[in-house]
């Protein structure tokens, strides 16, 4: 793979909100690799392209096309980006989005996006998009507009059923399942253990069936709880925390003396215990914490 600058990687990522704002489906689809996975939200059934698609009866990006028709085409979506992190071939975006589902039904969704990039025919493409956001609070917002809500959400349900079938609709609703509020509490407890430099407490938050180090910094190399605590003598302050399926994400700022670094932590949790199986701390590659 050729060497690409952070600006080039961000240019690919920025192509998505530009195409969404313009309702340019062709430009949006062209951002993705031939084989791609979209998890939106994380916890719902992934949309996988590049394999044989049973609904269309052919191989291609039909799943991605249906995703666009279901969730992007009928809405006006505005991106409010707070922070971007470019780390290797991964870009993590900290943002809120505003979704105008109709003239009156408008919701705001706090979100973290994780993009994985790959090279295809000499160009950077998105091979994996994972959107961490909470489905239930969004639905509750959408129900707050009286009759307009009923009409808008009914139309949305019929559109999903038409584009994706009953299995696709059920797969999307699956985003309601996950670690929920307990996951957010777990994340807050993890950062508290880090700030107290308590490796033993930190280890208690990790699923006991994980037989390997599971805390990783920007380089992606996982290390033990004790080593992670030793390498981070500073203080973490936590911003928004999102529970999405069996994953949690959190905006954070790490302060060590005069050095301040903004980042995003993404953790996966076990379905049974609800405890952490992997936690990755993303910051700019040249700002390792």
Which pTM was predicted? 0.95
Q: CA 41, CA 64: separation in Å to the nearest integer?
A: 14
Longest dimension (CA), the chain: 59
Would 170 be classed as within a structural domain?
yes
For residue 160, what are the domain limits? 6-175
Pairing of strands 123-132, 32-39: parallel
Q: Which residues does the chain have with pLDDT short of 70?
A: 1, 285-289
Would you say 132 and 17 are in contact if contact means Cβ atoms under 8 Å apart? no
Would 1 be classed as within a structural domain?
no
Q: Is the dihedral of CA 248, 95, 93, 66 positive or negative?
A: positive
Number of structural domains (the chain) is 2
33 with 127, same domain: the answer is: yes
List pLDDT tens digits, range 101-156.
Answer: 999 999 999 999 999 999 999 999 999 999 999 999 999 999 999 999 999 999 99
Residue 289 has a pLDDT of: 58
Residues near 169 by beta carbon (within 8 Å), at least 6 away in sequence: 157, 160, 161
Tell me the backbone φ, ψ of residue 261, rounded to 5 degrees.
-130, 130
121 with 260, same domain: the answer is: no
Instruction: Report the Cα 222 to chain-centroid distance in Å.
Output: 20
37 with 144, same domain: the answer is: yes
107 with 223, same domain: the answer is: no
Closest-CA residue to 253 (of 113, 83, 97, 80): 83
193 with 141, same domain: the answer is: no
Tell me the backbone φ, ψ of residue 217, rounded to 5 degrees.
-90, -165
Q: How large a percentage of the chain has pLDDT more than 70? A: 98
159 with 209, same domain: the answer is: no
Would you say 143 and 206 are in contact if contact means Cβ atoms under 8 Å apart? no
Vertex 198 angle, CA 204 and 187, to 5°:
55
């Amino acid at each position: 793979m050729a060497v690409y600058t952070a600006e080039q990687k961000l240019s690919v990522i920025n192509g998505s909100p530009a195409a969404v704002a313009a309702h340019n489906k062709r430009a949006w689809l062209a951002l993705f690799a031939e084989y791609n996975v979209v998890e939106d939200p994380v916890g719902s059934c992934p949309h996988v392209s590049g394999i044989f698609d049973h609904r269309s009866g052919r191989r291609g990006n039909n799943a991605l096309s249906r995703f666009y028709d279901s969730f992007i085409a009928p809405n006006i979506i505005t991106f409010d980006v707070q922070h971007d992190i470019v780390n290797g071939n991964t870009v993590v975006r900290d943002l809120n989005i505003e979704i105008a589902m109709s003239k009156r039904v408008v919701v705001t969704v706090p979100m973290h996006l994780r993009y994985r990039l790959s090279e295809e025919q000499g160009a950077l493409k998105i091979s994996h998009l994972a959107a961490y956001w909470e489905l239930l609070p969004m639905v509750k917002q959408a129900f707050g507009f009286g009759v307009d809500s009923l009409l808008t959400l009914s139309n949305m349900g019929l559109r999903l059923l038409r584009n994706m079938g009953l299995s696709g609709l059920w797969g999307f609703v699956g985003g309601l399942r996950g670690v929920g509020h307990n996951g957010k509490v777990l994340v807050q407890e993890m950062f508290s253990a880090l700030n107290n430099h308590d490796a033993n407490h930190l280890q208690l938050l990790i699923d006991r069936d994980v037989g390997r180090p599971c805390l990783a910094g920007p380089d992606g190399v996982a290390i033990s709880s004790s080593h992670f605590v030793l390498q981070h003598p500073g203080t973490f302050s936590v911003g928004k925390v999102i529970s999405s399926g069996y994953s949690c994400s959190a905006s954070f700022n790490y302060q060590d003396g005069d050095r301040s670094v903004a980042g995003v932590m993404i953790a996966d949790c076990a379905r049974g215990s609800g405890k952490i199986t992997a936690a990755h701390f993303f910051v700019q590659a040249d700002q390792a914490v």
